[in-house]
Amino acid sequence: MMRINKVVYFDNAATSYPKPESFFDAFNSFYRHKGGNPGRSGHSLSIAAGEVLEEARELLARLLNISDPFRIIFTFNASYALNLAFRGLLKEGDFVLTSSIEHNSVARPLRTLQKAGLIDFEIVPVNVSTGIIELEALEAALKKRKIKLVAIVHGSNVVGTVQPIKEIARLVHQYGALLLLDAAQTAGTYPIDVQADEIDILAFTGHKGLFGPQGIGGLYVRPGIDLNIFFAGGTGSKSEEDIQPEFMPDRLEIGTPNAGGAASLAAGVMFVLEKGVENIHAYEKKLINKLIEGLESIPRVRIIARDTAERVPVVSFVVDGMSVSEVGYLLDSQYGICTRVGLHCAPWAHRSFGTFPEGTVRASLSIFNNDDEIEYFLEALGKIAGG
């Protein structure tokens, strides 16, 4: 079999690679020709940098159907955004519901707040063959006591399941709770409409489906929800006061932002908008289905949560009789295929699917993958599993 590329990259759920060409141009142009500190000074380079930051906010607002871009604040990544949401929203004695397949970006902040004696939470199970949260169990948990917040991962980074978010939101709101969506895997790869989907708070990262750089992400907070100020600092506004401004985004966005990162993120979001999220999703769905069908015909390969209907282009599997690290190592060293093996920062999820502590091999795609790469991967894995 022929090596088709130098590298076949199937680890887009960790970070997308490659990036669109415009990503590089935007970064280059930012630091060569703009490069001031956004929102700080009134001179031309500061304004130029500020325009880049606001452009990124507006493009994200367009992508997610957010009416007021100032309801989006930039953070380092989705984990920081999620922490900000928990710290800004939860008060002592509050109760949170979450799913049994959350990433550690949700699991650890909740456990931390619980251990500090501030909050408590309950984990709602998912169906192990689909990865979808058990809606009856969710409703029962909502009925049991007063719930402040329901924090749910939109697309599973382990098995790819996309949750029926509209249905979940309706249920959550029926019982007077708020919905926090972890959209790390879905922003840019799966259609999201915060208004139609009734999402109260949404955390995203820039470096996955939005094709931005690592080190920039953000949080959307719907109008009417004022998160408490957890981090305070310079904003370039109200500088005569040592009180944090109340208005968004300055209320929550402090210090010099990653404006060069925002330039490349804006280019990435523009790339997604030009392609169309629906088209990206349709293309990736075709590829991932081809991959799953191929996996099913390889002896000893077992796919986790096979029956999910709606998914981001992520699939987890194990090869019976082989360790996942051996499979991953052979794919990489013999065939130049990058996958991710192990627990994917999601021990809860692997416990739920019975793949703890060994984990799985995960293949995750992007619009830059193609049919030839899927065929090459399947042939390589066939040899590894067969040999």
Active site residues: 345
In the numeric block, the tokens 């049994």 are attached to 100
Note the Cα 127 to chain centre separation in Å. Answer: 21
**How far is residue 17 from each of residues 51, 160, 343, 363, measured CA to CA in Å?**
27, 18, 21, 13
Stretch of residues binding another protein (CB under 8 A), selected from 13-21, 230-238, 286-294, 335-343: 230-238
Does residue 46 interact with another protein by CB under 8 A? yes
Measured from the CB of residue 14, what is the shortest distance to another protein in angstroms?
32
Whole-number Å distance between alpha carbons of 90 and 118: 8
Count Cα atoms within 13 angstroms, Cβ side, for 175: 22
Measured from the CB of residue 26, what is the shortest distance to another protein in angstroms?
17
β 340-342/178-182 pair status: unpaired
Cβ closest to another protein, residue 68 vs residue 358: 68
Spatial CA neighbour of 10 closest among 328, 302, 303: 328
Stretch of residues binding another protein (CB under 8 A), selected from 159-167, 232-240, 267-275, 348-356: 232-240
**How far is residue 214 from each of residues 52, 73, 105, 266, measured CA to CA in Å?**
17, 16, 16, 13
Stretch of residues binding another protein (CB under 8 A), selected from 32-40, 83-91, 265-273, 372-380: 32-40
Does residue 50 interact with another protein by CB under 8 A? yes
In the numeric block, the tokens 């840019």 are attached to 188
Does residue 212 interact with another protein by CB under 8 A? no
Measured from the CB of residue 250, what is the shortest distance to another protein in angstroms?
6
Measured from the CB of residue 254, what is the shortest distance to another protein in angstroms?
13
For residue 232, give every residue at least 6 positions away whose Cβ sits within 8 Å of its Cβ, in sequence order, or none.
244, 254
Does residue 47 interact with another protein by CB under 8 A? yes
Does residue 237 interact with another protein by CB under 8 A? yes
Measured from the CB of residue 253, what is the shortest distance to another protein in angstroms?
9
Cβ closest to another protein, residue 53 vs residue 343: 53
Whole-number Å distance between alpha carbons of 100 and 349: 6
Measured from the CB of residue 39, what is the shortest distance to another protein in angstroms?
4
Stretch of residues binding another protein (CB under 8 A), selected from 94-102, 129-137, 231-239, 312-320: 231-239
15, 40, 45, 191: which one binds another protein (CB under 8 A): 40
Measured from the CB of residue 233, what is the shortest distance to another protein in angstroms?
14
Does residue 218 interact with another protein by CB under 8 A? no
Does residue 54 interact with another protein by CB under 8 A? yes
Stretch of residues binding another protein (CB under 8 A), selected from 112-120, 151-159, 243-251, 353-361: 243-251
111, 146, 238, 300: which one binds another protein (CB under 8 A): 238
Asked if 211 and 23 touch (Cβ cutoff 8 Å), the reply is: yes
If phi > 0 it is left, if psi is from -120 to 50 it is alpha, else beta; for residue 196 that is alpha
Residue type, 106: V
| Total residues at interface with another protein (CB under 8 A) | 27
Does residue 258 interact with another protein by CB under 8 A? no
109, 209, 218, 249: which one binds another protein (CB under 8 A): 249
Does residue 69 interact with another protein by CB under 8 A? yes
- The total of other beta-carbon atoms located within 10 Å of residue 26's CB is 25
User: In a 3-state reduction of DSSP, which class is residue 171?
Assistant: helix
**How far is residue 120 from each of residues 6, 7, 82, 123, 336, measured CA to CA in Å?**
49, 45, 17, 10, 45
The residues that touch another protein, with contacts defined as CB under 8 A, are: 38-42, 46-47, 50-51, 53-54, 58, 67-70, 223, 235-240, 245, 247, 249-250
